[in-house]
Amino acid sequence: MPVSSGLHPEPTREEGLSREEAARLLAEYGPNVLAPPPAISLWARVFAQLRDPLIVVLLAAVALTIATADYADAVIIGVVVLFNTSVGVVQEVRADNAVAALSAMTAPTARVLRDGTEQETPSADVVPGDVLILGEGDIVPADATLLQAAALLVDESTLTGESVPVDKDARSTDPEVAQLQAGTVVVRGRALATVTATGEHSALGVIAASMHPRQQMTPLQKRLAGLGKVLALVTVGLCLLVLALGLLRGQSLELMAITAISLVVAAVPESLPAVVTLGLALGARRMATRNAVVRRLSAVETLGSVTVLATDKTGTLTEGRMLLERVWTPHGTATFSGTGYEPVGEFLHAGVPPSPALADAVRKVLVAGALCNDASLVPPTEATTPWAALGDPTEAALLAGAAKAGCAQEDLALTRPRAGEVPFDSLRKRMTTLHSTPGGQIEIYLKGAPEAVLEPSLLDEKPDVLERAREEAAALSAEGYRVLAVAAGSRADLPGHAEEAEGGLKLLGLAAISDPPKEAAEATVHACRRAGITSVLITGDHPATARAIAARVGILQGDEVIQPDLVATGQELAAGQVPDLTRIRVFARTTPQQKLDIVEAWQARGEVTAMTGDGVNDGPALRQADIGVAMGRRGTEVARQAADLVLADDELTSVIAAVEEGRRVYTNIRRFLLYALAGGAAEILIMLLGPLVGLALPLRAGQILWINLLTHGLTGVAMGAEPASPDAMNRPPRRPQQHVLGDGLWQRVLRLSVFVTILCLGISLWSRHTGGPWQTVLFLALLAAQLGIALGLRERVLTRLNPSLPAAILAAAALGVAAVYIPFLSHLLGTSAPSWPDLGIATAAGLAAFTAARTENHFAKSTSNASNATTTSRPDRTPVR
């Protein structure tokens, strides 16, 4: 009988540490935990919100209004500041709580030898020198050196990004093969290991320590900071000019001071922070319904600015579960359908059911793969959970494939119980099992790496058959598959040692297994291309596997698949063989530091980068990127803490939805700015030009503030909830350097403000000529014109997706009329009831402004389409085609 997969009876250090030694070392090295991120106090969160440039302008406006005893307007502006700050702080606290609830990827306990006996202790109490006892499913609590190992297979994807578990052997001279790292998972076998590093000194701790808090401003913050400075300088300058002109005309200092302050409030869109916050909060709520936790509100808008999406492979683009996709036999090749480890699917040849001969050959491969196997499939415990693997994921993939062909492992084991085995190890690279049959024969099944199986010393096959198998194995490996060769034979009796049966076998075929792309991965990459976002794959996996996945999901297309200069390895990066990192589209065998370097290279080029990932190795890059996106279910705690957006269901489609949300938010901000600045500029122009055409004081301060309250407050905030444009994801992202008023927006503000100014002054002059209350008519016309612009700037005027905007417009119009006909308001604002013709022509100003806004929309769209066509033709801004 062969040696089974048990450990030698005595470890190198049979006693382990004593309780006293463990206590002393714990005091010396500290607990085996990563330092938690520093807690952010409530006041620090509030202060961060108040540093927003526009909030600073509003706080200054509050001070001015209080200084002039205009307490009502001070309260209004203060409420806007309070609303913005509260929503931002509440969202951050909720997101932190949600991320804390997702923190499940830890090893709460560990098995160690203490005083010669096995004990279970909190992983935080593991110290250097402890002897760990590890088995299938255990999370390694600290860095350790193997003392003994039997058939040990460890999943290191959280640290390296490699999807295939790696063999570990205490006898190996390669230090990496004999070492275990904290946070990795034992998927097969057992081991004893001596702890060498804990906590912040472990490999996991070193990576976590490299992640420094991000200090850079988001694209939105940068744009609004620039806008705040411009608005502050321009509005203060113009309002001082109005003050000076009024004094020169003999107006009182108090009246002109109040008027100038009113114009400051009117010109500064104080509802902009509320519009931004409301838009981001609605975006965060929409993302939450799609299982995406937004940790910072600004992250929603930042995704809308993204020009480069750098994505991890394992668990992000791929399922993170191995799948049998092809079986080659000398009779032909069969392909398998299905997902994950669920034993549901079928196998076909060229899209049709295989011939009886091929079907029989494929089943023989699967029978061998299911019997020569130490894994098992775990059915879901709930309707929403998937099938899982216990043991080697590659072996589990063979079990799922066998079940699809009607060769369930449980049934096979009943008729062919295992009678002996030679376990897999990293030196032999193969595994052999012996099985008794009802007829008394002994069946032999062998599987392993092609280079270890396709040998004449093992197989009784003609040279041309072996050569065909080697060529096919090489071709499948080049496509990114993990390939296993399967052979079988029989004999009359059980040998004394199982190794004696490894000879004279017949080749059954090859099994091609991979970690396949998620169903939505290809659609996500294609959506990025349509949206003008460059996709880059960064992984720790093998170059062939990375290239194959990149080709399958569309990161590489057409001739790009075979172009060598689009794929680079970490070794080439370390050797300085890649002069331009932004030229590469697929990076393989990368280290955490190299992932960081790649993100920084794109940022140095001026691009806005998003990085998706789930492993500890992704942490530094997630932190450095303009926005980090972590997987919540599969992701590690380090990745979640580093990210701005956490996908609770690990679905990559949520990233594209978030990009659309970000673009919607930014479009609504620009729409609001066009509306608010055009109205504010018109008010200033009317106050400047009115006296030149004979209107001494065109508007009173109270009238300006009432218009401002109705347009910026009710209507402006409702504009922040406008739906996304239907073609939002079919145009390239805005240029990172673009000003928030860029791309022709300030010209549109100028045109609309001049139009409204001329329209309203003309109407007021007509009213004065006919003997009407011209100032009241001007007040009503200016309000109607701004409300007409608000409706005219909608992407789709009659859409039902945001009923709050037409409702706000109607409410603002009603309150505007109330300011004229309700005695208290009329007395407070200095208005008087106009005649019906005056009221009609003031209302017509709204229709005229609506038409002007629709014309502006049409003109801007045609200009933008022409600009986008030019932008997408630029080689430095478009994804590789």
> 672: Cβ–Cβ under 8 A, 6 or more apart, which residues?
269, 271, 272, 275, 716, 719, 720
Report residue 178 CA to chain centroid gap. 35
Collapsed DSSP state (helix, strand, coil) of residue 89: helix
Catalytic, out of 143, 167, 312, 541: 312
> 591: Cβ–Cβ under 8 A, 6 or more apart, which residues?
540, 570, 617
431 strand-pairing partners: 447
Order of strands across the sheet with 430-436?
347-348, 332-336, 323-329, 506-514, 482-491, 442-448, 430-436, 418-422
- DSSP classification of residue 238: H
For residue 712, which of 752, 674, 676 has the smallest C-alpha distance?
A: 676
Q: Token match 């996304």: residue?
A: 724
Report residue 79 CA to chain centroid gap. 33
Q: How many CA atoms lie within 13 A of 286 on its CB side?
A: 21
DSSP 767-827: HHHTTS-HHHHHHHHHHHHHHHHHHHT-SSTT-SS-THHHHHHHHHHHHHHHHHHSHHHHH
Helices (H), 102-178: 157-160
Determine how β-strand 179-180 pairs with β-strand 645-647: unpaired
Angstrom distance (rounded) from CA 18 to CA 29: 16
Burial of 28 (0-12, 13-18, 19+ CB in 10 A): exposed
CA 686, 689, 694: angle at the middle one, nearest 5? 105
DSSP 10-33: S-SSSS-B-HHHHHHHHHHH--SS
CB 781 within 8 A of CB 771: no
Report residue 681 CA to chain centroid gap. 39
Identity of residue 478: A
Angstrom distance (rounded) from CA 683 to CA 499: 93
* Buried b / exposed e along 563-592 (16+ C-beta atoms within 10 A): eeebbbbbebbeeeebeebeebbbbbbbbb
Determine how β-strand 586-588 pairs with β-strand 534-538: parallel
Angstrom distance (rounded) from CA 389 to CA 401: 13
Collapsed DSSP state (helix, strand, coil) of residue 621: helix
Collapsed DSSP state (helix, strand, coil) of residue 166: strand
Angstrom distance (rounded) from CA 273 to CA 278: 8
Would you tell me the crossing angle of helices 701-708 and 804-821 to the nearest 10 degrees? 160
Sign of CA dihedral 632, 636, 637, 642: negative
Sign of CA dihedral 850, 856, 859, 865: negative
User: Is residue 137 left, alpha or beta, with left meaning phi > 0 and alpha meaning psi from -120 to 50?
Assistant: left
Sign of CA dihedral 31, 34, 35, 38: negative
Active-site annotation holds for 312: yes
Burial of 504 (0-12, 13-18, 19+ CB in 10 A): middle
For residue 661, give the H/E element and its range. helix 653-689
Residues assigned a catalytic role:
312
